[in-house]
């Protein structure tokens, strides 16, 4: 099946596979030839940019981008299938006492109702992920009065526990994002964005990536970052990919520095 644009022209991906009308193919340009990098076509209703043909298997023949709800979503993004709920953190807010904070929220994907789950133990939540038992693991960035920590919330009872809040007695900077390996260990990034934005004290440790074992032992597994941020395992979990958004915002003068790093495990 070949899809057609409104003018009747057929559209195919670079390898000859049909390209949905709402998708655009990515072109990797070069500086030497002064060719641009980005979507091949400037289609007004382009909602999906295809960089790899395997993405077409996920999109299907007629993908749609649907707005679920208008809210102040910032980061997180964890789907809880048991109740069809989506958990996320809010944009940066100011509390009644003038302190910077963020809220932990959820949206019911059936009713599209948004609920604020913020409580005293929620201390500037940011990234989050479900663990292998369906609990919500939240990166709490901390405040001027309290260090950052990794929190686990049982979504059935809403009971929460602190998984870890220090490395050899030194408080974390401001935990940002986390992933859970199939063996149950929690891996997370710890940049100094809290201090940069004025709601955390001066860092006492380098910006690093940590692993929390199943018995709660915290190990630093990678350093040398400007600001480690998002992270993800390869499908076989033999490699860990970590983005360094310190480079992306121009805090690194070396323009050859990588934006995303990969470690063999």
The mean per-residue pLDDT over the stretch 201-222 comes to: 93
Per residue in 76-97, pLDDT (tens digit) is: 889 999 999 999 998 887 776 7
More confident residue, 190 or 64: 190
Domain residues of the chain, as ranges? 1-66, 73-264
For residues 24 and 11, give the distance between their C-alpha atoms in angstroms, rounded to a whole number.
9
pLDDT in tens, 129-172: 999 999 999 999 988 888 899 999 999 999 999 999 999 999 99
Q: In this predicted model, which residue has the larger pLDDT, 240 or 258?
A: 240
pLDDT of residue 6: 43
Q: How confident is the model at residue 40 (pLDDT cuts 50, 70, 90)?
A: low
CATH level 3 topology of 73-264: Neuraminidase (2.120.10)
138 vs 152: CA distance, rounded Å: 6
Mean pLDDT value across residues 9-28: 76
Contacts of 19 (CB under 8 A, 6+ apart): 3, 11, 12, 13, 25, 50, 56
Asked if residue 193 has pLDDT above 80, the reply is yes
Q: What is d(CA 139, CA 124) in angstroms, rounded to the nearest whole number?
A: 8
CA distance 83 to 112: 12
123 or 10, higher pLDDT = 123
Average pLDDT, the chain: 83
Share of the chain above pLDDT 90, in %: 43
């Amino acid at each position: 099946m070949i899809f057609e644009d409104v003018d009747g022209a057929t559209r195919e991906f670079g390898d000859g596979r049909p390209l949905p009308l709402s998708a655009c193919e990515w072109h990797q340009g070069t500086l030497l030839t002064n060719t641009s990098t980005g979507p091949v076509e400037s289609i007004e209703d382009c909602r999906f940019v295809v960089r790899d043909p395997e993405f077409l298997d996920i999109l299907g023949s007629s993908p749609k981008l649907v707005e679920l709800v208008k809210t102040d979503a910032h980061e997180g993004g964890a789907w809880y299938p048991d109740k069809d709920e989506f958990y996320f953190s809010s944009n940066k807010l100011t509390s009644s006492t003038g302190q910077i904070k963020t809220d932990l929220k959820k949206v019911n994907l059936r009713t599209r109702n948004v609920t604020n789950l913020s409580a005293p133990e929620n201390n500037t939540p940011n990234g989050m992920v479900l663990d292998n038992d369906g609990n919500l693991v939240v990166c709490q960035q901390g405040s001027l009065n309290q260090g950052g920590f990794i929190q686990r919330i049982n979504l059935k009872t809403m009971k929460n526990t602190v998984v870890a809040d220090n490395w050899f007695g030194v408080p974390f900077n401001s935990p940002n994002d986390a992933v859970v390996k199939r063996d149950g260990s929690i891996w997370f990034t710890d940049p100094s964005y809290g201090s940069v934005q004025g709601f955390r004290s001066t860092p006492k440790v380098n910006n690093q990536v940590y692993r929390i074992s199943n018995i709660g032992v915290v190990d630093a597994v990678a350093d040398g970052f400007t600001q480690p941020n998002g992270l993800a395992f390869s499908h076989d979990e033999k490699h860990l990919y970590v983005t360094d958004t310190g480079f992306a915002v121009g805090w690194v003068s070396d323009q050859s520095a990588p934006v995303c790093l990969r470690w063999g495990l």
